[in-house]
Amino acid sequence: MSEASAKPGIHALVTGGAGFIGSHLTELLLGEGASVTVVDNLSTGRLANLPDHDRLRVIEANLADVLPHLGAEVGPVDEIYHLAAAVGVKLVMDKPAEAIETNVALTAELLTAALTAGPASAPCPTLIASSSEVYGKGTGEVFSEDDDVVYGPTTVTRWSYAASKALDEHLALAHHRDHALPVVVARFFNTVGPRQVGEYGMVLPRFVDAALAGEPLTVFGDGSQSRCFADVRDVIRALPALLRRDGCRGRVFNIGADTPITIRELAETVIRVTGSESEIATLPFSAAYPNGFEDLKRRRPDLSRIREAIGFAAETPLEQTIADLAEARRAEPEAAR
């Protein structure tokens, strides 16, 4: 993959930087020689995810409280990676109003702050994390960035998350068009790996935890729905590469892997890789989530655009990701799982 390393002395802001993806990105940036400021309220992130580093500053606070005073609190920044968001199907279904307000209001404020966040109050290159959920209930085999999208009715709670992330994208692209903000939108497809937890509905860590405990792996529905899983350590390398390339600004990019696997096959793979004797159980979606949930049969990204732009490829085999996640979970205290 074509990569552009951080220049010496670069200062990056990572919102949600103590979270699953954010902490891996923070480590990558520090390894490049950048100074990093993380803003995270630790609602889903953990300080234990971050290294003790002399070029890392962590502000434990709500992003909404920091943004009005960003210059005074953080100082000029050379890059912004906006990963703070309400994430996970369970969290979104349980607290839809909070998820919508977090995703839309925070992103709007962040984009406004980014217009003057750079050195000499210049616009700061900004990456906005979006989601494959934006594609809604499309029935295509493969999803491309310029595809039309179809959502269910507003009475179906699931689509509130998709709509909120789509609005984030509209806001980002409008700021690029109207104010020349150098912004890139990244649509994540099922990113997995060490530090991900199953508490908010993420399927792979939920399966791994069950396998390690010798408990049944619960597959929702019949398990024939398919997804494509990419290792977080592959995914985070693409983020600086996209943000630092002028030709990527003002554009949307799918990020992930494009090899599909059914959820039942995923459960079988977890059992095999971990050496577990767990069985597979099934549960109807109606029993797993509140009223207002719809599942999608398949979700596979078209990666042509990101391959052409930066030569991206998801290289880590899924079995390796599962093994590394299992090893990390075994090493954690029981209370942290």
- Least confidently predicted of 14-23, 131-140, 228-237: 131-140
Among 171, 56, 187, 161, CA closest to 113 = 171
CATH code of the domain containing 30: 3.40.50.720
Q: Which domain holds residue 116?
A: 11-191+232-256+300-314
Answer yes or no: is 310 within a domain. yes
Give the model confidence (pLDDT) of 302-320 as tens digits: 999 999 999 999 999 999 9
Number of Cβ within 10 Å of residue 156's Cβ equals 14
Q: Which two tokens stand for residue 66?
A: 């920091």
61 lies in some domain: yes
Whether the per-residue pLDDT at 222 is higher than 60: the answer is yes
Catalytic residue among 81, 135, 151, 161: 161
What pLDDT does 287 receive?
A: 66
Q: Residue 139 — very low, low, confident or very high, per pLDDT cuts 50/70/90?
A: confident
CA distance 319 to 73: 42
Task: Name the residue with higher pLDDT: 87 or 84.
Answer: 84
Euclidean distance between CA atoms 104 and 128, whole angstroms:
12
Residue 6 lies in a domain: no
Q: Which of 3-7, 48-52, 131-135 has the lowest mean pLDDT?
A: 3-7
Q: Which of 22, 73, 82, 75 is nearest to 47 (CA)?
A: 22
User: What is the DSSP code string of 10-21?
Assistant: -EEEEETTTSHH
pLDDT above 90 covers a percentage of the chain that reads: 75
Answer whether residue 201 is part of any domain. no
Q: Which of 10-14, 90-94, 133-137 has the lowest mean pLDDT?
A: 90-94
List pLDDT tens digits, range 124-135: 999 999 999 999
pLDDT recorded at residue 247: 97
Q: Is the pLDDT of residue 158 over 90?
A: no
Region of residue 88 (left: phi > 0; alpha: psi -120 to 50; beta: else) = left
pLDDT in tens, 181-216: 999 999 999 999 999 987 767 899 999 999 999 999
Residue 334's pLDDT is what?
60
Burial of 72 by CB count in 10 Å (0-12 exposed, 13-18 middle, 19+ buried)?
A: exposed
Q: Which two tokens stand for residue 47?
A: 């300080």
Whether residue 300 has pLDDT greater than 60: yes
Q: Stretch 27-51: mean pLDDT, rounded?
A: 95
In a domain, 218, yes or no: no
The gap between the terminal CA atoms of the chain, to the nearest Å, is: 34
Question: What's the token pair of residue 86?
Answer: 């309400």
CA 221-225-228 angle, to 5 degrees, is 140
Give me the number of domains the chain comprises: 1
Tell me which residue has tokens 């600004």: 249
- 155-159, 253-257, 292-296 — which is least confidently predicted? 292-296
Cα dihedral 171/173/176/182 (nearest 10): 100
Residue 295: inside a domain: no
- Model confidence, pTM: 0.93
Residue 335 scores a pLDDT above 50:
no
Instruction: Calculate mean pLDDT across residues 65-91.
Output: 87
Q: What does the block give as tokens for 76?
A: 């000029």
| 306, 255 contact by CB (below 8 A) | yes
Q: Is 308 inside any structural domain?
A: yes
pLDDT for position 160: 86
Task: Report if residue 207 sits inside a domain.
Answer: no
Q: Is residue 161 among the annotated active site residues? A: yes
- Could you tell me if 56 and 30 are in contact, meaning their C-beta atoms sit under 8 angstroms apart? yes
Alpha helix ranges (H) inside the chain:
20-32, 63-66, 70-73, 89-94, 96-114, 158-179, 203-213, 232-243, 263-274, 285-288, 304-310, 318-331
Contacts of residue 277, defined as CB under 8 A and 6 or more positions apart, other chains included, come to: 214
Distance CA(10)–CA(249), nearest Å, equals 19
